[in-house]
Amino acid sequence: MKKTTGKKRRLQKPEPNGDSPANGPRAKSIRTVNGFDSSTNEPYPAYSSPTSDECLSVRDDLLNLYGFPREFVKYRKERERLSECCSVVDGSGGELAENVKSESVLDGLVKTVLSQNTTEANSEKAFASLKSAFATWEDVLSAESKCIEDAIRCGGLALTKTSCIKNILSSLSKRRGKLCLEYLHNLSIDEVKAELSTFKGIGPKTVACVLMFNLQKDDFPVDTHVFEIAKFIGWVPDEADRNKTYLHLNQRIPNHLKFDLNCLLYTHGKLCSKCSKRTGGRQRKVSENQPCPLLKYSTNL
């Protein structure tokens, strides 16, 4: 018989079986799901850009060039409506903003999935086709995958996106008993990240877009346009990847500027003939002769 050493084994606490804030299975750590780093630590604590003044200046320069992008107006109005609703509750607000029909969170998530690796026009056609083919999300869940693929084929990657959408709906049905994500409004940003990141195929950019557009949270998604422009104007070190850029910019950019600045940087990356060459933009609607307002901020010229 082996002689014991007298050392006690340290027992690990079992994982709790209780529900998460979403009344579903316990959400996994974001750090280990879909490549999403759950850390909110600043990856570049000694890197001082962008400052609040720089963020405001870039926002104003792009706003003067484009005005506010029309495609994002409905989301901006929804943020204003919620903000003014809160003001009324606080006793400091006046009339509510213009009545705007808000997009459901589930609609927003699926739209973002359909927008991956395709143009805006194609993703919008795919979503419209999907909603035309199926009256409810329950109908989508019960449909044959081939029927969904046919409906969204114009958006590209139909097989992959169908699998992702079916997985979201199936998981949500098992977890919540109904196909609805409105409960996410009541969660913190970190809790939302944990919840959405448990769905297979849902990565950091998709989660951040849902946070900003559909949940009206102060988050700053980093897509290809935002990433390349942020590097070009020196807001992150040259060696930064997209995840570290996301973490850094969310630490540095003031919350009240995040929404407008993100929409404008995205738009500028698509439309500026100079910046679109860096980001692979296909829509060059700004004249080649019109000076890019961001050139003066660049540290790479």
Task: Choose one of 215, 242, 263: the last residue of a domain.
Answer: 215
Specify whether 105 is located in the same domain as 165: yes
Of 177, 193, 215, which residue sits at a domain end?
A: 215
Looking at the structure, do residues 162 and 264 belong to the same domain, yes or no? no
Distance of alpha carbon 231 from its chain centroid, rounded? 19
In terms of domains, do 55 and 147 share one?
A: no
On the question of pLDDT at 269 being above 70, the answer is yes
299 confidence band (pLDDT: 50, 70, 90): confident
CA pair distance 159, 168, nearest whole angstrom: 14
105 and 184 in one domain?
yes
Instruction: Compute the half-sphere exposure of residue 144: CA atoms within 13 Å on the CB side of its CA.
Output: 3
Mean pLDDT of the 9-27 span: 38
Mark residue 23 as left, alpha or beta (left: phi above 0; alpha: psi -120 to 50; beta: remaining): left
Q: Looking at per-residue confidence, does 8 or 243 come out higher? A: 243
87 has a pLDDT exceeding 70: no
Residue 169: inside a domain, yes or no? yes
Q: How many domains does the chain have?
A: 2
Based on the domain organization, do 208 and 223 belong to the same domain? no
In a domain, 200, yes or no: yes
Residue among 174, 183, 241 nearest 215 (CA): 183
First to last CA, the chain: 75
Residue 41's pLDDT band (boundaries 50, 70, 90)?
Answer: confident
Which range among 15-24, 38-47, 63-72, 97-106 shows the weakest confidence by mean pLDDT? 15-24
Tell me what pLDDT residue 82 has: 84
- Summarised one tens digit per residue, pLDDT across range 196-226 is 999 999 999 999 999 999 999 999 999 999 9
CATH number, domain with residue 293: 1.10.1670.10
287 and 272 housed in the same domain:
yes
Does residue 9 lie within any of the structural domains?
no
- Residues with a catalytic annotation lie at 205
Q: Do 201 and 225 share a structural domain?
A: no
Model confidence at 277, pLDDT cuts 50, 70, 90, reads low
Q: Are residues 196 and 244 in the same domain?
A: no
Domain's final residue, options 189, 215, 241: 215
Give the pLDDT confidence of 103-157 residue by residue, as tens digits.
999 999 999 999 999 999 999 999 999 999 999 999 999 999 999 999 999 999 9
Give every CB contact of residue 288 below 8 A, 6+ residues apart in sequence.
Answer: 273
Domain interval for residue 173: 101-215
More confidently predicted of 101 and 175 = 175
Residue 186, in any domain of the structure: yes
**Is the separation of the CB atoms in 246 and 149 below 8 Å?**
no
Average pLDDT, the chain: 83
pLDDT value for 97: 40
Q: What is the pLDDT of residue 83?
A: 77
Question: What confidence score (pLDDT) does residue 10 get?
Answer: 38
Same domain, 141 and 233: no
Claim to verify: residue 155 and residue 54 sit in the same structural domain: no
Whether residues 129 and 188 share a domain: the answer is yes
pLDDT of the residue at 84: 74
Q: Residue 184 falls within a domain, yes or no?
A: yes
Concatenated DSSP letters for the chain?
A: -PPP-SPPPPPPPPPP-S--TTSSSPPPPGGGBTTB----S-S-TT--PSPHHHHHHHHHHHHHHH-S-GGGHHHHHHHHHHHHHHHHHHT---SPPPP--PPPHHHHHHHHHHTTTS-HHHHHHHHHHHHHH-SSHHHHHHS-HHHHHHHHGGGS-HHHHHHHHHHHHHHHHHHHSSS--GGGGGS-HHHHHHHHTTSTT--HHHHHHIIIIIS--S-----HHHHHHHHHTTSS-TT--HHHHHHHHHHHS-HHHHHHHHHHHHHHHHH-TTHHHHHT-S---S-TTSPPTTGGG-S--
- Is residue 92 assigned to a domain? no
Per-residue model confidence (pLDDT) at position 51:
98
Task: Spell out a b/e string for 177-186, using b for 16 or more CB atoms within 10 Å of the CB, else e.
Answer: eebebebbee
Query: In which band, very low, low, confident or very high, does the pLDDT at 40 lie, cut at 50, 70 and 90?
Result: low
CATH number of the domain encompassing residue 120:
1.10.340.30
Picking from 34-38, 179-183, 237-241, which range would have the lowest pLDDT averaged per residue? 34-38
222 and 288 together in one domain:
yes
- Give a yes or no: residue 26 inside a domain: no
What are the structure tokens assigned to 105, written together?
A: 């969170």
Tell me whether residue 108 is in a domain. yes
**What φ, ψ does residue 165 adopt, rounded to 5°?**
-65, -45
226/246 Cα distance (integer angstroms): 10
Q: How far apart are CA 127 and CA 67, in angstroms?
A: 27
